[in-house]
Structure 1
Amino acid sequence: MPSASTGAPTTVVASSAAVARTEAVSVGTSADTRLAPGGPGYRRMSFALFLAGVATFALLYSTQALLPLVSADFGVSASTASWTVSAATGALALFVLPLSALSERFGRRTLMTASLAIAVTVGLLVPFAPSVGVLIALRAVQGAALAGLPASATAFLAEEVRPKALITAIGLFVAGNSVGGMSGRIITGWVAQEWGWRVAVGVIGVLAVGCAVAFRLLLPAPRHFRAGSLRPAVLVRTVRGHLANPLLRRLYAIGALFMTVFGAVYTVIGYRLTDAPFSLPQGVIGSVFLVYLVGTVSASTAGKLVDRLGRRGALYLAGATTTAGLLVSLADSLPLVLLGLVLITAGFFAGHAVASSSVSHTAKEGRAQASALYQSAYYLGSSAGGTLGAVAYHSGGWAGTVALGLLAVAGVAGITLAGTRAARTQQQQRRRVVAVQH
């Protein structure tokens, strides 16, 4: 669901000597200078990135709850209207890696500020789209601009926050995503019911402007970032290294599959609740997204979940919770549908927070690029989920969408199981080596 990367090695941007300097600073001064809960600047930084997360998801999914109205206004099908979401998430997926490279040169805070500025500007133009084609194009530009946020934010956190607090800090950023997704959908639902979808997305644009301004004023200046030059060859080598890492590949696939479920469910749910036997008005459908609050809690507590169950145990639990939600949502009972959405949301956000923070923990070099690859896979999953979910709904109703979601969760379980077996094999090999040495 709706995940949840950092401290960039200077190799991606400069020389090997610069990498050594950066690592020396990290090791030598982390206990004194990096931020930690309760310390000076941590709360401001957390709130600033929380607001960035709110703006990102509010803008990125601003049309999702309004798809039935967009379909009616332009006279297009659900699958065509779904591209107003899929174009944004797909463009984000395509641009997140190159923009993460720019953050290595120009800085995390600078890139995040520029990305938000462009995205909110486009957001103020979206309400005036004269056709569905123009609307989809504007949404694609908006998604490309927002690509500067996710990887840069997690990279900023990994550089500026102490390692033990990293999962919690990233969880708070992901929690901002969930609040943005929730508030955006609720606001658009009620506003659209009275004044139409154009006014609704305009209100989200104004809300995002406020978040962007507050973000820039609150975010502390980075103290551990080391800029370097853009070197495509080094970037390609770094990316290849990450893709060659089996654990990182598994985490990327898990993020994509979780987001496929989430994208499919929340793209289609508006159509289901509009149709019989529910026939809910737009404002009430928007209020359904209050279940995102569950995601806020599950994402922000992901660190505690990992402490108790371990990374793979937490992923198993997240997958099981999502599966239960999908099955419960099949009932033609509004309370059970809502319960299903609660479980799906809780499982998704927990799984996303665990997977995204594990990427940051696993990558020892090129963390911004490692995070960017995760975000790319994650949003490709969102784009695929939105489009495939609409197609599945058109072909087989809600049961078709649920079947797609169950298939994706089965993929998560299979990949996690493969990781568990690989870890056991490595552990046995280490024991053999130790036994031979003794």
Structure 2
Amino acid sequence: MTYIEKGSTEYIKASLALFFGGFVTFAILYTTQPLLPIFAKEFHVSAASASLTVSASTGTLAVMMLVAASLSDQTGKKNVMMMSMLLTSMLAMAMAFCPNFISLVLARTFLGMAAAGIPSLAMAYVAEEFHPAGIGKVMGLYISGTSIGGMAGRILTGVLTDLFSWRTALFAIGAISLLLSVIFALILPAPRHSVKKPLNGKTALRAYAVHLRNKPLMALIVLGFLFMGGFVTLYNYIGFLLSEPPYSFSQSVLGFLFIVYIFGSFSSVYMGRKADLHGHALVLSISVALTALGAVATLVPSVIAKIIGLSLFTFGFFGCHSIASAWIGERANVNKAQASSLYLLFYYLGSSLAGTAGGYFWTHLHWLGVIAFIVTLLLLSYPLIGYAHKRLE
């Protein structure tokens, strides 16, 4: 069977479709992140409670990805991804009509369940369908879609909230996502390298058990928790910091801060390509260092310094995610969808658990406590990278 080769029409269509998949998922998944200070005031809840509108989605998404990966063995990766995007978009539109905080969190919980199809299967689709020599770059293209989607969703949320309301903003993002979901369904090539299997619980558990017994691979998988936990924690609570005096930024300005995601779009491709050339461990270690340095730079009171720190932090994080994703895709010799799902299980559990835990550090230790928590998570990644490099490379 032939792979999707660089330069072909299929390559262009598949790359664009995967870009849209990442765009839609992350535009919707984190669209409430810049709204956390508004939710805290409007619904009279704490910062940690407001963060549940993010954590509830990522937590259920983390668990449902395990189901989506096994479901795809029976119904096909494209079908599951397509239905995931369509349902997520429609739920995002419906979310605008939630009457209170509890219903909003419940809606976000169901949205997380629906959104599981894309992140759990896009990585496996890339690993199976594209030529192995270019996996790092293509994975970077998909992840660049996630970064641009996250950026666009947050900026649009901020602007529309200031102009109209947060409800109008959520509905508009859902409608745009629905259109992109239809395009995705029309242009993504059907998988040719995956074999449909009957849905069997024991078979699925055995597929995951293979990876759980692979300690070097699990070291890479756990990295997802540390990377995403730190990333979401910073972006969850920087809005609280910058909405307070002496900054007192408006919702539009807070939204536009997420334009630094463009550095993530660049780094996911650039660092992925560098990892293909110079080795995963070296480039991943450099990316972690850049992420930590960016986080520390946000401690400087100057707004300019904070924006530079955010830019460096985002550049480093997306490099980390791109390299770890590609490394797992290459080293999982069997059951690639399940390997990707395990990585993303830890990745989104980091978003959910660490992202909410960061509220404790914000409440009790303010911004210094938040950054100390993030840097600690990042430093814990180094022994895992070293162990995986020693056993896998």
- Which residue of 245, 268, 276 maps to 1:276? 245
User: What does residue 306 of structure 2 align with?
Assistant: 337
User: What is the alpha-carbon distance in structure 2 between the residues aligned to residue 306 and residue 254 of structure 1?
Assistant: 16
State the identity as a percent: 36
Amino acid in structure 2 at the alignment position of 1:180: G
Q: 2:158–2:256: 8 Å Cα contact kept in structure 1?
A: yes
* SS of residue in 2 equivalent to 1:129: coil
User: What does residue 376 of structure 2 align with?
Assistant: 407
Amino acid in structure 2 at the alignment position of 1:208: S
Instruction: Give the unaligned 5+ runs of structure 1.
Output: 1-28, 425-438
* SS of residue in 1 equivalent to 2:366: helix
Q: CA deviation at 1:141?
A: 0.5
User: What is the alpha-carbon distance in structure 2 between the residues aligned to residue 111 and residue 421 of structure 1?
Assistant: 36
1:89 aligns with 2:61: no
1:287 aligns with 2:256: yes
Cα offsets for 1:132-162 (capped at 9, x unmatched): 1110010011011111111211222222111
User: What does residue 323 of structure 2 align with?
Assistant: 354
Larger radius of gyration: 1
User: What is the alpha-carbon distance in structure 2 between the residues aligned to residue 422 and residue 106 of structure 1?
Assistant: 35
1:326 aligns with 2:298: no
Q: CA deviation at 1:277?
A: 1.9
User: What is the alpha-carbon distance in structure 1 between the residues aligned to residue 332 and residue 387 of structure 2?
Assistant: 20
Q: 1:36–1:42: 8 Å Cα contact kept in structure 2?
A: yes
User: What is the alpha-carbon distance in structure 1 between the residues aligned to residue 372 and residue 278 of structure 2?
Assistant: 28
Q: CA deviation at 1:289?
A: 0.3
Cα offsets for 1:259-306 (capped at 9, x unmatched): 011010010111111012211111011000000000000001233221
Amino acid in structure 2 at the alignment position of 1:300: V
Q: 1:263–1:389: 8 Å Cα contact kept in structure 2?
A: no
User: What is the alpha-carbon distance in structure 2 between the residues aligned to residue 375 and residue 325 of structure 1?
Assistant: 24
Q: How has the CA–CA distance of structure 1 residues 226 and 422 changed in structure 2, closer, same or farther, with 3 Å as cutoff?
A: closer
Q: 2:217–2:388: 8 Å Cα contact kept in structure 1?
A: no
1:68 aligns with 2:37: yes
Q: How has the CA–CA distance of structure 1 residues 422 and 46 changed in structure 2, closer, same or farther, with 3 Å as cutoff?
A: closer
User: What is the alpha-carbon distance in structure 1 between the residues aligned to residue 391 and residue 370 of structure 2?
Assistant: 32
User: What is the alpha-carbon distance in structure 2 between the residues aligned to residue 103 and residue 423 of structure 1?
Assistant: 28
User: What does residue 161 of structure 2 align with?
Assistant: 192
- Which residue of 137, 141, 153 maps to 1:168? 137
User: What is the alpha-carbon distance in structure 1 between the residues aligned to residue 196 and residue 204 of structure 2?
Assistant: 14
* SS of residue in 2 equivalent to 1:277: coil
- Which residue of 104, 108, 112 maps to 2:73? 104
User: What does residue 19 of structure 1 align with?
Assistant: none
Q: 2:4–2:131: 8 Å Cα contact kept in structure 1?
A: yes
1:419 aligns with 2:375: no
Instruction: Give the unaligned 5+ runs of structure 2.
Output: none
- Which residue of 383, 396, 405 maps to 2:365? 396
User: What is the alpha-carbon distance in structure 2 between the residues aligned to residue 190 and residue 315 of structure 1?
Assistant: 35
User: What does residue 338 of structure 2 align with?
Assistant: 369
User: What is the alpha-carbon distance in structure 1 between the residues aligned to residue 44 and residue 288 of structure 2?
Assistant: 37
1:58 aligns with 2:17: no
Q: 1:85–1:139: 8 Å Cα contact kept in structure 2?
A: yes
User: What does residue 154 of structure 1 align with?
Assistant: 123
User: What does residue 378 of structure 1 align with?
Assistant: 347
Q: CA deviation at 1:307?
A: 3.0
- Which residue of 37, 40, 43 maps to 2:6? 37
User: What does residue 267 of structure 1 align with?
Assistant: 236
Cα offsets for 1:398-423 (capped at 9, x unmatched): 11110110110111122223334556
User: What is the alpha-carbon distance in structure 2 between the residues aligned to residue 76 and residue 353 of structure 1?
Assistant: 35
Q: How does 1:97-246 map to 2 (within 5 A)?
A: 97-246=66-215
TM-score scaled by length of structure 1 = 0.88
* SS of residue in 1 equivalent to 2:300: coil
Q: 2:136–2:275: 8 Å Cα contact kept in structure 1?
A: no
Q: Which runs of 4+ in 1 moved over 6 A?
A: none
TM-score scaled by length of structure 2 = 0.97
Amino acid in structure 2 at the alignment position of 1:406: V
Q: CA deviation at 1:36?
A: 1.6
Using the TM superposition, name which of 64-73 and 87-96 deviates more: 64-73
* SS of residue in 1 equivalent to 2:96: helix
Amino acid in structure 2 at the alignment position of 1:201: L
Q: CA deviation at 1:394?
A: 1.0
Q: Note the aligned Cα RMSD (angstroms).
A: 1.2
Q: 2:331–2:392: 8 Å Cα contact kept in structure 1?
A: no
